[in-house]
Structure 1
Amino acid sequence: MDFSLLFNMQRELDAYIESRHGLEGENLLRRKLLAFHVELAELANETRCFKFWSEKEPSEDKVILEEYVDGIHFMLSIGLELNLDNEIMNYPRGEKQFGKNLVPFFEEVMNAVTRLQYDGGRMEYLNLCLAYLNLGCALGFSSEQIMEAYMKKNSVNYDRQNDGY
């Protein structure tokens, strides 16, 4: 995965949003962390991994990937807010997980966000990235799928800004 490209694209989108909403120079870290939490919850909802009371199947992979990429946007944006956009990460390899087997991956991401909220350092950010990338791997997504979906969603995000989202 080309994180330099992703960070540059996110930097441009963030600057565009901040300019349109008069937020230049404002520290947005707390709001970005909350937004990441919300996106993570939306992702969990689409996987239905925690819904032991339901027999309904998870959403289609396309929908789950789209929700996952929303989290990638905020993961990158948080790195930019912390000036940690020069970190090189590798996309992990592993097997796709299903149902309740996904729960520990979500828990690890939630714990990493909490640690980052309280400690806010480089290692906590890298742990968040690793946990979120591991979740993507467990969801069965390749780095190529994530890159392609990010590009599409990045374009949608610009369109939304231009349409008064």
Structure 2
Amino acid sequence: MEGEEIVNIQKLFEMQKELDERIIREHGLEGQDLLPNTVLALQVEIAELANEWRGFKHWSHRQTPEVETEVCDYCGEDVDYTRPSPFLANAGASMCKACWDMTQTEYAASNGEYIPDFEDYPHFVKKVPYKMLMEYVDCLHFFLSVARQIKYPLDDLIHLHAENLEEGPLVYVFIELLQHVGWLALHIHPEVRKRAFEFAFVGFVNLGKRLGFSPEQIEQAYLEKNQINHERQSTGY
């Protein structure tokens, strides 16, 4: 499970250590075993991450994470993505995928004109689901806190990630991740706890990759949230 560093874990670990020590000092928590609380907090954050992912919500019409929306100039709907209209007469107008697909099917078929697929566009860029990314780094905060509390070696943590992405439905990745995290509080033997952490953290890294987050996005989001967490301590959150 070793390999190249995915983010600057050492930098983030030290930042998390500073935040944790501040919380312990300002809340008078010296000498207390905070691992059960931290493990439960991590499980809650994983659940909140799943809630933003939405892929398990078979009862909902939306099973994709929320991104910044745009307005389609043709149907007037708020949508996740638009692209420029294919019609020269409507230059500058934006068209959503539903309108684009209808145009591709009906207009192109009747006129014999080739219209590419919606995402076949040089400037089409996948948006970052910001809320989901922030939930992911909330999880990372608690993973780093757990690593510190169980005294997991930083040198090992730096190189701890999956060499190959785990396949299969993401819903099972979430379920297994929650299970492995739970073991961190239920097993007291150091080696068992260390092994549980490795399984959990590798699964977490794998999840981030499958959600489409880059190391740069994760690190920047962590820095933003770490600053927010310090501000919360200063304002009596």
Alignment length (residue pairs): 162
- Report deviation, 1:26: 1.2
The equivalent position to 1:89 in structure 2, one of 159, 167, 170, is 159
The equivalent position to 1:4 in structure 2, one of 10, 19, 23, is 10
Q: Distance in 2 between matches of 1:113 and 1:53?
A: 27
Residue by residue over 1:37-76, the C-alpha shift from the partner in whole angstroms, topping out at 9 and shown as x without a partner, is 1101111111111100001242221110000000000000
Q: Distance in 2 between matches of 1:71 and 1:160?
A: 17
Residue by residue over 1:118-149, the C-alpha shift from the partner in whole angstroms, topping out at 9 and shown as x without a partner, is 22521111111101111111111011111111
Are 2:55 and 1:49 equivalent residues in the alignment? yes
Are 2:144 and 1:144 equivalent residues in the alignment? no
What is the TM-score with the length of structure 1 in the denominator? 0.90
Residue by residue over 1:89-110, the C-alpha shift from the partner in whole angstroms, topping out at 9 and shown as x without a partner, is 3555777x9xx93212101211
- Report deviation, 1:150: 0.4
| Paired residues for 1:53-132 under 5 Å | 53-56=59-62, 57-60=64-67, 61-86=129-154, 87=156, 88-92=158-162, 101-120=169-188, 121-132=193-204
Relative to structure 2, which stretch is displaced further, 48-57 or 32-41? Answer: 48-57
Q: Gaps (5+ residues) in structure 2?
A: 1-6, 68-128
Between structures 1 and 2, the one with greater strand share: 2
Q: Distance in 1 between matches of 2:208 and 2:198?
A: 15
Q: Distance in 2 between matches of 1:91 and 1:55?
A: 34
Q: Gaps (5+ residues) in structure 1?
A: none
Structure 1 stretches of 4+ moved >6 Å: none
Q: Distance in 1 between matches of 2:162 and 2:214?
A: 9
* Bigger Rg over Cα: 2
Between structures 1 and 2, the one with greater helix share: 1
Partner of 2:232: 160
What is the TM-score with the length of structure 2 in the denominator? 0.64
Q: Distance in 2 between matches of 1:26 and 1:85?
A: 21
